[in-house]
Each structure stands twice: as C-alpha cells, then as structure tokens.
C-alpha cells in the first residue's frame, strides 16, 4: 500500500471511483479545479491501482477536507481511516491550527469515522446538500490541531 500525491493523470481513475462510491459524484471540472497550489491531494494505491483518495486545502492557519472517497468494493477495510489519518498528518505538517470538513447529516458511517479521529460537530448548514427527498443538512466538523503541533 502506498499513499502519494495525486497527479492530473490520476483524474480518470478517481472519477471512476467517485462515480461508483457517491450518489452525487464530483464532476471532472470540479476535480480539475482542485489541483492548484493551495491544495494537497493524495491517493491510496495498491499495485499502482487507485483505491481511494482525498482532496485537502490549506489556507493561512486551517486545512479543509473537501472530499475523501474509497472505492465501494474496498469499503470496510480501514482505507478511509488510513486516508483520514494521512490528511490529519499533512494538516499538522503545514502547521494548521484546525482541520475542518462538511458531511451530509445522513452519512452515519462517515460521521462515525470523523468522530473516531477526534472531529467534533461545530455547526450545521441547513438544507445544504441536494438529495432524493430534496435537501439535507451539512454538519460542519472541526479537529483542533494546535495542541498537537
């Protein structure tokens, strides 16, 4: 298993993972827009095959997790936790005081993973995400890092 920076050449593989793992996958345009200097994007590879990835951004004193995704056929193997740990380490390496993320209120598995890694609910955005029933809330979650730096 190897975690390495994502390259633009990895976009087709990560879009394929997005398409099967998410009901509302990111578009190619959104993915392309996340390859600027302020982003840190990593993929988890086994035998050169991309199994999961995350997109992070660091601005001033905080980092934000924009997307974390593991191919659905590899769920339940701890890969999401491995990627989240890597994101937290990369945030701390950049001297981030806090790490932030947003998650669908209905995504109990993701919320459990984030809480297991120390994230706490810091707010709620009402009717933020579209879903089959219309709209659902986004939970804003924060992990204070300044005490661990």
| Selected catalytic residue, list 62, 98, 102, 136 | 102
Residue pair 81/117 in contact (Cβ under 8 Å)? The answer is: yes
| Selected catalytic residue, list 18, 42, 54, 114 | 114
Q: List pLDDT tens digits, range 108-130.
A: 999 999 999 999 999 999 998 88
Of residues 82, 28, 31, 80, the one with CA closest to residue 55: 31
Give me the domains of the chain, ranges plus CATH numbers: 2-144 (3.40.630.30)
Q: Crossing angle, helix 79-93 and helix 108-116, to 10 degrees?
A: 50
- Helix (H) / strand (E) containing 81: helix 79-93
Q: List pLDDT tens digits, range 77-117.
A: 999 999 999 999 999 999 999 999 999 999 999 999 999 99
* Whole-structure pTM value: 0.92
- Annotated catalytic, 114? yes
**Pairwise CA distance, residues 38 & 29, whole Å:** 17
**Pairwise CA distance, residues 69 & 30, whole Å:** 15
- Annotated catalytic, 42? no
**Pairwise CA distance, residues 46 & 114, whole Å:** 24
Per the structure block, which two tokens stand in for 9? 């050449």
């Amino acid at each position: 298993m190897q975690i390495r920076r994502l390259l633009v050449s990895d976009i087709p593989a990560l879009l394929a993972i997005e398409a099967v793992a998410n009901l509302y996958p990111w578009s190619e345009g959104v993915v392309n827009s996340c390859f600027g200097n302020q982003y840190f994007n990593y993929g988890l590879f086994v035998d050169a095959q991309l199994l999961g990835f995350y997109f992070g951004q660091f601005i001033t004193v905080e980092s934000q997790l924009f997307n974390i995704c593991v191919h659905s056929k590899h769920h339940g193997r701890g890969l999401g936790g491995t990627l989240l740990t890597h994101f937290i380490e990369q945030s701390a390496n950049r001297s981030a005081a806090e790490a932030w993320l947003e998650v669908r209120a209905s995504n109990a598995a993701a919320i459990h993973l984030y809480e297991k890694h120390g994230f706490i609910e810091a707010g709620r955005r009402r009717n933020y995400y579209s879903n089959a029933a219309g709209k659902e809330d986004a939970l804003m979650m924060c992990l204070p890092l300044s005490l661990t730096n």
